[in-house]
Chain A
Amino acid sequence: MGMTLTEKILARHCGLERVEPGQIVNAKVDLVLANELSAAVAIGVMRKIQGATRVFDATKIALVADHFVPAKDAQSASLAKLMKEFAAEQEIEHFFDVGRGGIEHVVLPEEGLVAPGELIVGGDSHTCTYGAFGAFATGMGSTDIAAAFVLGEVWLKVPASIKLIYTGAPGPMVYAKDIMLRTVGELGIDGATYRALEYHGTTVDELSITGRITMANMAIEAGAKNGIFRADEKTIAYVKERTDRPFVVERADPDATYERVVSIDVGALEPQIACPHTPDNVHPISEVAGDDLPVDQVFIGSCTNGYIDDLRVVAKILEGKRIAPNLRVIVNPGSQKVWMQAAQEGILTTLAAAGCAVNTPGCGACFGGHMGTLGDGERAISTTNRNYVGRMGSPKAEIYLASPATCAASAVTGRITDPRVLEYAPMSSASPTSS
């Protein structure tokens, strides 16, 4: 009997011929990630572990300050400082402070720290993002991260896999975000708990790297442990440009066992939107745009949609226009590199001229930390991944999740808007089917 992609990677990392769903294994990790919030707690735990003085391998740890950067207050500054001092003490070179990095999940692939076949754990639930590169990647809490810092190993229960098959070409204004929102809507927010998602089909073969990142990123929104794509020539080219570290490309066996198979006809999809207050409350945009819902804030950014391709889509829609009156539009490019690329292409100027506030890279408003927190009774449309009560600030605010195109269209009108109604010629480089 064959193995799934996830089973293959786990088996190799625990030195076994094969593993089965439900089996508990000790697996070696290739990279351990933490941000200033999870690192601060993990460092505290590591200090309590008797006999633990050094991390297992200083080259296999990445520390990124992104949640509250630039520090929003003295408390946040002290967490970032704690992480910085730990990096110096342990001689951890992959330490990214504000101005050098950005959002952890945007930075790691850019820096060549993620490669196919690798096993990555992170003190952040969206660590599953690296499945876009054919890696097994999963989020954990700080005590598990402290253990991984010290041992270079984690215990894992091998998840059963759900095979997702996508076919058909996306219609106008349908992006990877729409495809993934639909997927979360189909599965439900606990539909994949303790499971791996394995993405297949002609649609995702055609998808750009950033499109795959958007989809792997939101595997956790269905409760999944990880979400994984097959690494292809596009993936290998992307990774080889950034690292010369050797890696092993694993493949799912043709006779692998899946717990279930879900097929999605992308050709039949219109743009999708997740309504308050769960990411699986997903509807076609036409059902929601008709309600004429005014918005107070549009947020463009996050590890889901803070990439250069996303900013290009937004700039194309806002070019030469002004955002609607009585509206705030906040843009956080995902990383310093994305910011610089957007600056070079004139995107930041286009967005600022349209009336957007362009922030420095980081998580920003995504989790209600700072730089765009919502007030009581406000409504936002956002390119992020979660819309739970209070996620972006006030528990009395409403959050809608959509693609950068839908968010940009809504920025123009000030209401939740179907992007297909705007006059707009899609650029080939921004379409989800390009590389």
Chain B
Amino acid sequence: MEATLRGHAHKYGKNVDTDVIIPGKYCNIIDQAELGKHALEGLDPQYTSRMQAGDIIVAETNFGCGSSREVAPIAIKASGTSAVIAKSFARIFYRNALNIGLPIFESAEAVDGIESGDEIELEPATGIVRNITRATQYRAAEFPPFMRSLIDAGGLVPYVEKRLSDSASS
């Protein structure tokens, strides 16, 4: 997730829960592209038709609260959304997003400074958020070292593979 991400912002409020990110009735869908068509449907049914690949979801506090459904970050990623910036994330969503490789950024100043439609550029490696439209720049919180090492390893799956091969050779 190191390449620069670029897209337009779609801004939402606080406590965007997993039931509105992907309603329960779609939770039996495995096909990621199909899930992507319903991203944010409970909150903003027009989201997937309005957004363009690379666009960025911006939200207030506690994004992704509620159920542990991993299809929530999967649907957002599959919709073509490149990242989510929020003031804070619910903990299960936070883990799930990193595990499946949906870039997420925590930054109150970025959320306050960005309006829907603004053009945004994100540097995952440094956490720098540039608002091209308003010519301002913000900084997202750094990931704790353990999370950073998981991200650098490419997510949880390669991490588990390494653990397995380490224990097989010991």
Contact = CB atoms under 8 A, between A and B. Distances in A.
B28 A37 contact: yes
Interface string B16-29: 01011001110111
A41 B156 CA distance: 14
Interface in B111-170: 144, 146, 155-157, 159-161, 163-165, 168
Interface stretch (A143-151, A234-242, A309-317, A354-362): A143-151
Given A48-B157, A144-B99, A189-B65, A194 B91 contact: yes
B63 to A, nearest CB: 10
A340 B70 CA distance: 34
B20 A389 contact: yes
A41 B92 contact: no
A103 to B, nearest CB: 14
B99 A388 contact: no
A79 B15 contact: no
A386 B90 CA distance: 15
A193 interface: yes
A67 interface: yes
A389 B28 contact: no
Contacts of B25: 368-369, 373, 393
Given A143-B100, A150-B160, A73 B28 contact: yes
A67 B71 CA distance: 15
B93 to A, nearest CB: 8
Interface string A1-28: 0000000000000000000000010000
B164 A52 contact: yes
A96 B58 CA distance: 41
B30 interface: yes
A433 interface: no
Contacts of B90: 190, 193, 223
B51 interface: no
A151 B43 CA distance: 37
A395 B40 CA distance: 12
Given A44-B30, A155-B146, A391-B19, A143 B70 contact: yes
Nearest to B101: A143
B62 interface: yes
Contacts of A147: 156-157, 159-160
A363 to B, nearest CB: 9
Contacts of B99: 141, 143-144
A311 B27 CA distance: 29
Contact of B157 (A45, A79, A124, A141): A45
Interface in B88-118: 88, 90-92, 95-96, 99-100
A225 B88 CA distance: 15
B67 to A, nearest CB: 5
Contacts of B42: 388-390, 395
Interface string A38-56: 1011001100111110000
B27 A390 contact: no
B68 A141 contact: yes
B66 interface: yes
A127 B92 CA distance: 12
Interface string A323-347: 0000000000000000000000000
Contacts of B70: 38, 41, 141-143
Contact of B65 (A142, A223, A393): A223
A125 B30 contact: no
Contacts of B155: 143
Contacts of A223: 62, 65, 90-91
B88 A190 contact: yes
Contacts of B96: 140-144
B37 interface: no
A136 interface: no
Contacts of A79: 28, 30
Interface in B38-77: 42-43, 61-62, 65-71, 73
Given A151-B163, A189-B15, A386-B19, A141 B95 contact: yes
Contacts of A116: none
A41 B68 CA distance: 12
A49 B157 contact: yes
A190 B65 contact: yes
A203 interface: no
Given A190-B62, A194-B91, A369-B24, A41 B160 contact: no
Interface of B: 15, 17, 19-20, 23-25, 27-30, 42-43, 61-62, 65-71, 73, 88, 90-92, 95-96, 99-100, 144, 146, 155-157, 159-161, 163-165, 168
15 contacts: A44-B30, A49-B161, A50-B164, A51-B161, A51-B168, A68-B28, A124-B67, A141-B70, A142-B70, A193-B88, A223-B65, A368-B19, A369-B27, A389-B43, A390-B23
- Give 7 nearest A-B pairs by CB, closest first: A141-B96, A141-B70, A143-B99, A190-B62, A390-B42, A367-B24, A125-B68
